[in-house]
Amino acid sequence: MKFHTTKFKDLYVVDFIRFEDERGVLVKPWVVNELEKKFGSNMETYITSSKAGTIRGLHYQKGFAAQNKFITCLSGKIEDVAVDLRHKSATYGEVYSITLNEMDGRGVIIPEGFAHGIYAYDDSLYVAFSNQDYTPCEEGGVLWSSIPILRNLPVNFVSKKDAQLPELKEMLDK
């Protein structure tokens, strides 16, 4: 595994094992001895399918439930988006984005303190590993359309809950 730093403290792009031959593709996204050094232990794993044009998020867990997430795309193509909500961070309020394609051998570690979401360009399947259990009463979120890079995408599907989240500006003014 190779970990690539970004300008965001503790946010890493991860290149993991990928092997392709005439039979297909094998990826190995989780190697405990390597990933736990940057991520922590995997407590929950989510596999999510999304129709093309779906936006999910941007969500975060706060307080004792704050989570690190490790995301990779299994099929289709997604835009993975994270917003730094750590008040004392040099990149507070800034947005990170990466396009992940099916089985490309690449993922991203999103540290606690970031709001996170995905946009599905195609019908997509992605996996999210989390170092903490999901705690509904500790969830927060940011309205997707208040994020400039998401605003002009052709969104066809968004949950009612996600459509009612506060705008990023409101979050940053607190």
Over residues 84-142, the pLDDT tens digits come to 999 999 999 999 999 999 989 899 999 999 999 999 999 999 999 999 999 999 999 99
**Cα–Cα dist 90/130, whole Å:** 24
Over residues 109-123, the pLDDT tens digits come to 999 999 999 999 999
Contact (CB, 8 A) for 86 and 171: no
Buried b (16+ CB within 10 A) or exposed e, 66-105: bbbbbbbbbebbbbbbbbbbbeebebeeebbebebebbbb
Put simply, whether the predicted model's pTM sits higher than 0.85 gets the answer: yes
Domain chopping of the chain, boundaries: 2-173
Q: What is the CATH number of domain 2-173?
A: 2.60.120.10
Lowest mean pLDDT of 22-36, 64-78, 115-129, 158-172, name the range: 22-36
